[in-house]
Amino acid sequence: MPEVTEAQRWKRMRYELTYGLGASNFLGELGGADQLGTNQFKDLEFSMTRYVVSGGMRYKLLKWLSIKGSVQIGMLRGDDALTQEVSRNYRNLSFRSPIYEIAIQIEPSVIKEQAGARYRLRGVKGRKWMAINTYPFIGIAGFYMNPKAEYEGVWYALQPLTTEGQGQFPTRKKYSRFQLAIPVGIGFKYGFNRRWSISLEYGLRKTFTDYIDDVSTTYVNADFISAGASGDEEVAIALADKSDGSYPNKTAPGQQRGDPHDNDAYMFAIFSLNYKFRKLRKRRRSRPKF
């Protein structure tokens, strides 16, 4: 059989399974740093970090280019009680939401993955850091969210309660719990051998919705909430305005509740164990000899 060259070796194991576990966090209206809300990382509230689990498969299109399909299940949280910024702390809203995400991303290697383990042989000089494959990535994702808030010890789904009068105005439609996002980030992968490797990916999800936390626009009259709520009207009104009422002007109909100019975002940092394998080939049936 002809010898497999270095240039051909990567083609023999184009498929790679990934199993990951990591941390998730949220960038939106609720919670954040002790300042006016922004859509930047300085508004990140680390105490609201929650879990994410991941699984997927990577396929090498070229030696320097891969495509990966994956599924992520995580949790997002935000709480105004954690910020000392006066307006947001007085607003006193909070939420949690599961995130079920399916994503496809393209991964061009900046530092290419090494084939084999020759760079780690004893007595061979080389740069060990070259074993770390570094790749940016970008893709498309679909996800399901279901923001909930707690009232008297019970967690209620917020979308059916229309806490901002969604569905009662032509310009304020009821939002969908199925949304799209753009994953963008960077990954680092270290190979132990030709089959096994570990990796760390950090990715921001830019979404097209401002309602992951159920907060986006202004307070509305309780009558509009009652008219749209498909559920307990008393609960809907209570969760629409959780302030203590000491400054009623701040939460009067028409006053700012969220910021509709910036969509929500979330992020995953995922540590993965990866396993490469060969695609199974169908055995050829040998013809009988006569």
- Asked whether residue 104 is assigned to any structural domain, the reply reads yes
- Asked whether residue 225 is assigned to any structural domain, the reply reads no
**Using H for helix, E for strand and C for coil, what is the string for the chain?**
CCCCCHHHHHHHHCEEEEEEEEEEEEECCCCCCCCCCCCCHHHCCHHHCEEEEEEEEEEEEECCEEEEEEEEEEEEEEEHHHCCCHHHHHHCCEEEEEEEEEEEEEEECCECCCCCCHHHCCCCCCCHHHHEEEEEEEEEEEEEECCEEEECCEEEECHHHCCCCCCCECCECCCCCEEEEEEEEEEEEEECCCCEEEEEEEEEEEECCCCCCCCCCECCCHHHHHHHCCCCHHHHHHHHCCCCCCCHHHHCCCCECCCCCCCCEEEEEEEEEEEEECCCCCCCCCCCCC
> What are the 10-residue block averages of pLDDT along the chain, 290 residues in total?
59 90 92 57 81 96 93 96 86 95 96 59 48 92 97 94 90 94 96 90 96 95 87 90 90 92 94 87 58
Write down the pTM of the prediction: 0.85
At 76, which CATH number? 2.40.160.20
- Asked whether residue 38 is assigned to any structural domain, the reply reads yes
- Asked whether residue 286 is assigned to any structural domain, the reply reads no
- Structural domain of 198: 6-152+174-213+261-277
- Asked whether residue 22 is assigned to any structural domain, the reply reads yes
